[in-house]
Every structure is written in C-alpha cells, then in structure tokens.
C-alpha cells in the first residue's frame, strides 16, 4: 500500500481511510483503493462525505455507493486518528 494511513471511519459498508502518499497528497481510501488526490486531509474527508470523489463501489456487492448517506464526517478532525507505531 503506497499510503501512510492517518484517519479512519467505520461505516455499515466497511472502513474508510484518509492516507498520505509519498508525494504529500491525501487520499480517501476504501478497500485498498484511492478515490482522489487532495492537498489537505480535510479536503479528502469533505469530498468523501459529500459523495464527490471518484465512483466507489461496495467491496462485496459491487453496487455503487452514495458516501453522503454513510454518516462520514466532513472534517477529518472528527475521524478516528490512527496512532503511529513509533
């Protein structure tokens, strides 16, 4: 996985993450796939919460997800922070 995972949010369809790539960009991630590239983590969480990312399909059913119906907070400060192993 090319991202350092920073935040996560559990939903009824699985866990979403905000990760940072080696180029410093932030990515909303679901099932190990990035759904956009943003300059800040709050932009990534906001786009995901508003269903404004690339189309996301459910990991098991393949159905298109409307992420705005999953209770995802718009700001990453409301997400759970992943504690560093350091």
* pLDDT single digits (tens) 66-84: 999 999 999 999 999 998 7
86, part of any domain: no
The string of DSSP letters for the chain reads --EEEEEEEEETTEEEEEEEETTS-EEEEETTEE---BSSHHHHHHHHHTT-SS--B-TTT-PBP-GGGTT--SSGGGSEEPPP--
Domain total in the chain: 1
Q: pLDDT tens for residues 6-62? A: 999 999 999 999 999 999 999 999 999 999 999 999 999 999 999 998 789 888 888
57, part of any domain: yes
The pair phi, psi for residue 63, each rounded to 5°, is: -70, 145
pLDDT of residue 85 exceeding 80: no
65, part of any domain: yes
Residue-range definition of the domain harbouring residue 41: 3-81
């Amino acid at each position: 996985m090319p991202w350092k995972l920073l935040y996560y949010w559990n939903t009824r369809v699985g866990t979403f993450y905000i990760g940072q790539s080696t180029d410093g960009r932030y990515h909303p991630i679901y099932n190990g796939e990035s759904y956009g590239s943003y300059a800040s983590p709050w932009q990534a969480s906001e786009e995901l919460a508003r269903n404004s990312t690339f189309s996301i399909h459910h990991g098991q059913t393949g159905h298109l997800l409307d992420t705005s119906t999953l209770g995802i907070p718009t700001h990453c400060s409301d997400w759970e922070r992943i504690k560093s192993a350091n």
